[in-house]
C-alpha cells in the first residue's frame, strides 16, 4: 500500500505529462483491489453541515473491521449534494484517520470531462489511492461508447492515481456499454470496474473478456456478492458493509476459500436487508440502520427525506427477520 502511495506522489509531482502517466500506470498495475469496501455515508449536523466529528467517530469503528479500504464520496456519501470543497475535505479527513494499510477510493466523477479531471487532481492531492469515476449521465442519450471511451481515457491519461470505472444504472439511467468497458480495460491507468447493475452474465463476460489485462471487477452490492465471486469478481463495494461489515468480510472469506455452502447460507440472510438499504429505501434507510448498529448515520441532506414510520418499521422487519437485530 505504501508503494502505491509513493507512486501516487511521484505522479502528482510529475503532473499530467509522459512521466506522470508512466508512474500512474505503474501504480495501477500494482493496485490490488481485492476485498470489501463500505461506500461510507456522510454525516450531517442538524443544520445539514458536514459533521466531521461524527465522521471521525465512524472511522474509528470501521478501523476494527477487516475491510480492504473505504470508498469515500460514492453514491451513499450523497456526493451530488456536496460542494466540490466539501467532497475534497471529506476525503482529506478520511485520509488522516485511515490506517496506512487501507486503500482509499475517492469518487471524483462529474458531468464534464474537464471538471472530472480537475476534481481527480484534487482527490489525489487529498490522499486518494485511486479514484472512482461514475459515467456522465445528464445527456445520457448522447453518452454512447465513443463519448464514454473518450471521457474515461482523458481522465485516466491525466490522473496521477489509478482510475476505477463506476457503473450504477439505477442512479444514472445508463449502464457502461460492454464494448466500452473492454476497450477501457486496456488502458494502463484504469485498474477496474465497480459494477452495481447486478447482471451476472454481463459481469462474467467482462471478467472473461478482460482477463488478458490486469483489470479487476468489484460487485457494487451485497445482494449479488457471492454470485460475483463465482464469475471472477475480486471484491465488493457494498452499502450494507456500513452496518454489517464483519459479516460481509466473512462472506468474502468463505467465497475465496471455496466454502460455498456456508457462503450461500450467509448470502441468503443478507439479501433482504441489503435490498432495504439500496434499491427499496435507499440512503435514508442506510443511515437509520447505521444508528441501530452503533454508528452515526443521522439525517440526509435535503431534498432527501427521512423514512416514514411505516418505512422504518419495514426496515426493522427486514433486519429482524434475518436475525441481524
Distances (CA, A) of 59 to 22, 96, 160, 243: 33, 10, 26, 12
**Over its length of 325 residues, how does the chain's per-residue pLDDT go in tens digits?**
443 454 444 444 445 555 556 666 666 667 999 999 999 999 999 999 999 999 999 999 999 999 999 999 999 999 999 999 999 999 999 999 999 899 999 999 999 999 999 999 999 999 999 999 999 999 999 999 999 999 999 999 999 999 999 999 999 999 999 999 999 999 999 999 999 999 999 999 999 999 989 899 999 999 999 999 999 999 999 999 999 999 999 999 999 999 999 999 999 999 999 999 999 999 999 999 999 999 999 999 999 999 999 999 999 999 999 999 9
194 noted as active-site residue: yes
* CATH code of the domain made up of 2-257: 3.20.20.70
Distances (CA, A) of 282 to 41, 264, 311: 12, 25, 11
d(CA 196, CA 224) in angstroms, rounded, equals: 9
Among 102, 194, 264, 280, the one annotated catalytic = 194
Note the pTM of the prediction, 2 decimals: 0.92
d(CA 36, CA 20) in angstroms, rounded, equals: 29
**Please, are residues 67 and 38 in contact by the beta-carbon 8 Å criterion?**
yes
Domain ranges across the chain = 2-257
* Packed helices 2-14 and 113-126: angle between N→C axes, nearest 10 degrees: 130
Amino acid at each position: 500500500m505504501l508503494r502505491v502511495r509513493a507512486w501516487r506522489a511521484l505522479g502528482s509531482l510529475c503532473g499530467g505529462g509522459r512521466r506522470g502517466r508512466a508512474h500512474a500506470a505503474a501504480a495501477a498495475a500494482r493496485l490490488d483491489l481485492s476485498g470489501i469496501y463500505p461506500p461510507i455515508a456522510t454525516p450531517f449536523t442538524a443544520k445539514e453541515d458536514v459533521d466531521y466529528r461524527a465522521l471521525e467517530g465512524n472511522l474509528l469503528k470501521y478501523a476494527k473491521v477487516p475491510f480492504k479500504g473505504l470508498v469515500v464520496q460514492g453514491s451513499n456519501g450523497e456526493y451530488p449534494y456536496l460542494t466540490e470543497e466539501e467532497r475534497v475535505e471529506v476525503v482529506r479527513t478520511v485520509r488522516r484517520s485511515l490506517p496506512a494499510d487501507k486503500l482509499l477510493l475517492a469518487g471524483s466523477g462529474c458531468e464534464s470531462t474537464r471538471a472530472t479531471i480537475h476534481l481527480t487532481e484534487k482527490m489525489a492531492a487529498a490522499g486518494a489511492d485511486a479514484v472512482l469515476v461514475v459515467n456522465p449521465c445528464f445527456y445520457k442519450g448522447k453518452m454512447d461508447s465513443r463519448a464514454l471511451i473518450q471521457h474515461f481515457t482523458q481522465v485516466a491519461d491525466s490522473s496521477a492515481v489509478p482510475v476505477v470505472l463506476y457503473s450504477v444504472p439505477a442512479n444514472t439511467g445508463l449502464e457502461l456499454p460492454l464494448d466500452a468497458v473492454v476497450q477501457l480495460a486496456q488502458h494502463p491507468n484504469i485498474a477496474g470496474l465497480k459494477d452495481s447493475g447486478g447482471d451476472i452474465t454481463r459481469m462474467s463476460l467482462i471478467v472473461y473478456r478482460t482477463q488478458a489485462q490486469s483489470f479487476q471487477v468489484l460487485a457494487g452490492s451485497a445482494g449479488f456478492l457471492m454470485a460475483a465471486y463465482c464469475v471472477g469478481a475480486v471484491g465488493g463495494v457494498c452499502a450494507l458493509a456500513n452496518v454489517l461489515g464483519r459479516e460481509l468480510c466473512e462472506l468474502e472469506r468463505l467465497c475465496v476459500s471455496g466454502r460455498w455452502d456456508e457462503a450461500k447460507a450467509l448470502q441468503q440472510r443478507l439479501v433482504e436487508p441489503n435490498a432495504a438499504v439500496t434499491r427499496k429505501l435507499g440512503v435514508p434507510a442506510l443511515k437509520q440502520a447505521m444508528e441501530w448498529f452503533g454508528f452515526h448515520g443521522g439525517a440526509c441532506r435535503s431534498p432527501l427525506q427521512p423514512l416514514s414510520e411505516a418505512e422504518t418499521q419495514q426496515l426493522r422487519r427486514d433486519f429482524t427477520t434475518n436475525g441481524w437485530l
